[in-house]
C-alpha cells in the first residue's frame, strides 16, 4: 500500500489540476481527488495497467457526478455582493487567476456537465476523444461535438477586429488597475470626460444613485469597485470587451464597458442574476 500511495501522490498535482478546471472550486477539487484515492484503495493495483490514465478517468467521473448534482440543485441566490466578495481568500483567488483565468472559469461554469468534461480533458489536457467518450457515456463522434460546442462558447463571437480588441483590452486593464488601488489620477486618465456609470441598485451603497455622469464624479465614487475589482478580469461580453468579477470562478458581477477614443465612455455594473445569465461571456483572444 505504501508503494501505491507514493504512486498516487506522484499524480496528485495532475489530478487536482484536472478536477479544479472541471469544478472551479479548490475545495471540491480536493474532495474529488480524495474520493479518487478511496476508490483506488479498493481495487487490486495489479489490475490497473496504466495508473495515470485510470486515475484521470476516475477523477473525471467523480467530477461529472458533482457537476450533474450541482445542476440538479436550485440556483443559490447571489446574496449581498460586498459580503460574498470579502469572504474570498486572496491566496486562493490568486491561484485561481494564475492557473486558469476567471473568464474561462465563468464560461466553463455555464457549460453542460458533459460539455465541460469533454472540453477540459481534450482541449486543456489533450486526452483523445475515444478515451473521453466512456467517461461521459457518449460515442466518440458525439464527444467531439460536445467539445466543439464548448469551444465555441469559450471563444465567443465578435465583430471587432483584433487591433480594436487589443486596444479596448488595454483600456479595460488600465481601468481595473486604477479601480483596484483607488488611483484617482489613473481613473481620470482612462475615463472619458462625459463618462456615464450605470449600476444595478443592489450593488451600490445606500444613497448612491443608479447613474453617475462625468469623469470626476465617476472616479471619486469608484471606491465602490475597489473590492470587487480585486476579483475582476477582462472578458468578451456580448462581443465587446468588458470585465467579469468572479470570486472562486463564480460570476457575481459583470462590467459592460463601452470604449470610445481609447477611453471608457460608459460602463454598467450588472449584478442581477437574470441579466448575468443572459450575457454571452467568452474568453478574450
Q: Cα separations (Å) of 251 from 94, 110, 113, 128?
A: 16, 10, 17, 30
CA dihedral over 26, 31, 32, 36, signed as positive or negative? positive
C-alpha cell at 92: 486562493
The most confident of the ranges 2-11, 73-82, 91-100, 170-179 is 170-179
> Is residue 219 within 8 Å of 244, Cβ to Cβ?
no
* pLDDT higher at 98 or 23: 23
pLDDT at position 87: 44
The per-residue pLDDT for 55 is: 96
Residues 6+ apart with CB under 8 A from 144: 129
pLDDT band at 203 (very low <50, low <70, confident <90, very high): confident
pLDDT of 210 above 80? yes
Q: With 80 as the cut, is the pLDDT of residue 80 above it?
A: no
Top pLDDT among 224 and 264 is at 264
Topology of the domain comprising 2-74+111-155: Butyryl-CoA Dehydrogenase, subunit A; domain 3 (1.20.140)
- Confidence at residue 84, expressed as pLDDT on a 0 to 100 scale: 44
Per domain, the residue ranges of the chain are 2-74+111-155, 162-282
What is the residue-averaged pLDDT of the chain? 89
Provide the CA 237 distance to its chain's centre, in angstroms. 13
Q: Do domains 2-74+111-155 and 162-282 have the same CATH topology?
A: no
What's the pLDDT tens digit per position in 246-278? 887 789 999 999 999 999 999 999 999 999 999
Please provide the CATH number assigned to the domain covering 162-282.
Answer: 3.10.450.50
pLDDT in tens, 101-131: 889 999 999 999 999 999 999 999 999 999 9
Q: What integer pLDDT is reported at residue 76 of this predicted model?
A: 52
Check pLDDT > 80 for residue 168. yes
Q: What is the pLDDT of residue 24?
A: 87
pLDDT at 225: 67
Residue 91 has pLDDT above 90, yes or no: no
The whole-angstrom separation of Cα 181 and Cα 186 is 9
pLDDT at 99: 67
- The C-alpha atoms of residue 80 and residue 87 are separated, in whole angstroms, by 11
Per-residue pLDDT, 25: 84
Amino acid at each position: 500500500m505504501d508503494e501505491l500511495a507514493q504512486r498516487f501522490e506522484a499524480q496528485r498535482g495532475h489530478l487536482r489540476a484536472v478536477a479544479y478546471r472541471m469544478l472551479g472550486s479548490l475545495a471540491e477539487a480536493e474532495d474529488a481527488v480524495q474520493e479518487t484515492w478511496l476508490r483506488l484503495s479498493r481495487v487490486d493495483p495489479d489490475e490497473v495497467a496504466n495508473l495515470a490514465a485510470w486515475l484521470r478517468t476516475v477523477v473525471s467521473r467523480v467530477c461529472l457526478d458533482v457537476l450533474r448534482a450541482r445542476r440538479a440543485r436550485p440556483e443559490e441566490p447571489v446574496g449581498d455582493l460586498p459580503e460574498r466578495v470579502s469572504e474570498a481568500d486572496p491566496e486562493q483567488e490568486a491561484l485561481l487567476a494564475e492557473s486558469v483565468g476567471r473568464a474561462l472559469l465563468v464560461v466553463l461554469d455555464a457549460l453542460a456537465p458533459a460539455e465541460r468534461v469533454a472540453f477540459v480533458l481534450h482541449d486543456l489536457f489533450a486526452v483523445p476523444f475515444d478515451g473521453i467518450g466512456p467517461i461521459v457515456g457518449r460515442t466518440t463522434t458525439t464527444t467531439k461535438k460536445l467539445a466543439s460546442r464548448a469551444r465555441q462558447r469559450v471563444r465567443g463571437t465578435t465583430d471587432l477586429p483584433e487591433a480594436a480588441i487589443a486596444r479596448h483590452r488595454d483600456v479595460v486593464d488600465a481601468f481595473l488597475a486604477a479601480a483596484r488601488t483607488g488611483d484617482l489620477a489613473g481613473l481620470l486618465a482612462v475615463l472619458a470626460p462625459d463618462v456615464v456609470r450605470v449600476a444595478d441598485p443592489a450593488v451600490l451603497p445606500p444613497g448612491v444613485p443608479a447613474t453617475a455622469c462625468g469623469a470626476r464624479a465617476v472616479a471619486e465614487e469608484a471606491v465602490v469597485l475597489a473590492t470587487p475589482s480585486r476579483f475582476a478580469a477582462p472578458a468578451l461580453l456580448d462581443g465587446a470587451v468588458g470585465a467579469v468579477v468572479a470570486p472562486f470562478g463564480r460570476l457575481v458581477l459583470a462590467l459592460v464597458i463601452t470604449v470610445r477614443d481609447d477611453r471608457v465612455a460608459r460602463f454598467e455594473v450588472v449584478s442581477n442574476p437574470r441579466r448575468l445569465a443572459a450575457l454571452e461571456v467568452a474568453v478574450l483572444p
